[in-house]
Structure 1
Amino acid sequence: MKKRHLVLQSISLFTIGMLYLPLFGIAVFSVNSAKHGWVWQEFTMKWYTGLLHNNYILEAAWNTLTLAVVSTLVSTVIGTLLAIGISRFPWGSRTNGFLGLMLNFPVVIPDIVMAGSLVVVFAILRSVSDVFQPGMVTMTIGHITFQIAFVALVVRSRLVSIGTDLEEAARDLFADNWYVMRRVIFPLLLPGIVAGGMLAFTLSLDDFVISFFTSGPTSQTLPLYIYSAVRRGVTPQIHALSTIIVLITVILVVLAERISRKK
Structure 2
Amino acid sequence: MPKGIALTTGLNAVSPAHYGGWSGELNACEADAKDMAEIARSKDYEVKTLLTKEATRKNVIDGIIKAAGTLTSGDIFMLSYSGHGGQLPDMNSDEDDAQDETWCLYDGEMVDDELYTLLGKFAKGVRVLVFSDSCHSGTVTKQAYYQSAMRAVGAKGIAPEVRYRFMPMEVAVRTYRDNKKFYDPILKDAKLKESRDAVNASVILISGCQDNQLSADGAFNGLFTANLLQVWNEGKFRKGYRAFRRAIVNRMPPDQTPNYFRVGETSRAFERQRPFTI
- Name the TM-score, length of structure 1 as normaliser: 0.23
Higher fraction of strand: 2
Higher fraction of helix: 1
Larger RCO, structure (CA 8 Å, separation 6 or more)? 1
Structure having the higher Rg: 1
